[in-house]
């Protein structure tokens, strides 16, 4: 079980022992992935559910909103009345609260474990520009490699800045272009020159090398962590 369903708390059988079984099976799988240093999508999934449970604990209305809808009731107002009665069911609410109380420390422990692994790996990844960096850095190339391997994963990246309230957020998209080998004759600078020759639309691209001291799983760990680090790196340089 790689991910937990969005409404796992209220779907299927609403029984403490059943939910405990589902949750512990999920946590065991996450623990196994973390042992193998595979962080994503498990870390994002954990944070999502942990935050949801905290909100549910503080606001029972959110439990009401997360109950699965019954297609047999077409009238929305009647549905609202129906779910309100469910929420007012003391025994049912006690079961939900029992599940939430059991689940919260489980999620908290795994989130903290994942955060420690993330920080440890991030400290061993170094990001540096290749060649002259242009003023426009929100689009370019990312080269991903390790000290112990000659393999270089080549990506095109694009950062989008969007605003919400008074905050500005950055999102990054990557597209894998190639997998090459680096050597004295095919240096990172030469790889950048080859990229420029093959794509005239980016004549002076920002190009960054992310190099790790250790080997980690690429898609579940190295790439997502590097993308976050790259956003931070570019943000500091702006």
pLDDT of 216-238, one tens digit each? 999 999 999 999 999 999 988 66
- Of 168 and 25, the structure prediction assigns the larger pLDDT to 25
Same domain for 103 and 135, yes or no, is no
Under DSSP, the state recorded for 221 is: I
Q: Is residue 2 part of a domain?
A: no
Same domain for 131 and 233, yes or no, is yes
Confidence tier at 60 by pLDDT (50, 70, 90): low
Final residue before a domain boundary, out of 120, 137, 160: 120
Confidence tier at 72 by pLDDT (50, 70, 90): very low
Q: Which of 227, 208, 225, 219 is nearest to 170 (CA)?
A: 227
Listed range (102-106, 158-162, 204-208) with the worst mean pLDDT: 158-162
Q: Is residue 110 part of a domain?
A: yes
Judge whether 213 and 124 are in contact, CB under 8 Å: yes
Q: What is the pLDDT of residue 200?
A: 86
Number of domains in the chain: 2
Q: Is residue 9 part of a domain?
A: no
Residue 83: pLDDT over 70: no
Q: What is the pLDDT of residue 33?
A: 96
- The domain in which residue 202 lies consists of 125-237
Same domain for 24 and 113, yes or no, is yes
Final residue before a domain boundary, out of 74, 103, 120: 120
Q: Which of 97, 13, 15 is nearest to 53 (CA)?
A: 97
Same domain for 47 and 63, yes or no, is yes
Q: Which of 97, 68, 98, 96 is nearest to 82 (CA)?
A: 68
What is the mean pLDDT of the segment spanning 185-200? 94
Measured CA to CA, the distance from residue 172 to residue 158 in angstroms comes to: 6
- The pTM score is 0.82
98-112 pLDDT, tens digit each: 999 999 999 999 999
The winner for highest mean pLDDT among 62-66, 89-93, 160-164 is: 160-164
What is the mean pLDDT of the segment spanning 136-164? 92
Work out whether strand 139-146 and strand 206-212 pair parallel, antiparallel, or are unpaired: parallel
């Amino acid at each position: 079980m790689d991910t937990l369903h969005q409404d796992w708390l209220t779907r299927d059988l609403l029984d403490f022992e059943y939910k405990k079984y589902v949750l512990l099976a999920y946590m065991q799988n996450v623990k196994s992935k973390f042992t193998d240093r595979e962080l994503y999508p498990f870390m994002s999934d954990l944070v999502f559910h942990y935050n949801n449970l905290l909100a549910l604990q503080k606001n029972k209305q959110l439990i009401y909103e997360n109950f699965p809808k019954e297609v047999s009731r077409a009238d929305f107002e009647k549905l609202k009345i129906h779910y309100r009665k469910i929420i007012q069911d003391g025994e049912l609410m006690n079961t939900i609260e029992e599940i939430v109380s059991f689940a919260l420390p489980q999620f908290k422990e795994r989130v903290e474990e994942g955060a420690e692994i993330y920080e440890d790996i991030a400290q061993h990844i170094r990001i540096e520009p290749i060649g002259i960096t242009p003023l426009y850095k929100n689009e370019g190339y990312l080269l991903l490699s390790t000290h112990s391997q000659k393999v270089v994963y080549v990506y095109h990246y694009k950062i989008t800045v969007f605003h919400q309230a008074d905050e500005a957020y950055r999102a990054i998209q990557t597209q894998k272009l190639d997998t090459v080998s680096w050597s004295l004759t095919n240096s990172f600078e030469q790889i950048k020159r080859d990229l420029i020759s093959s794509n005239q639309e980016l004549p002076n691209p920002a190009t960054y090398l992310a190099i790790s001291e250790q080997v980690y799983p690429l898609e579940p760990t190295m790439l997502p962590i590097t993308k976050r680090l790259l956003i931070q790196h570019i943000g500091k340089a702006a």
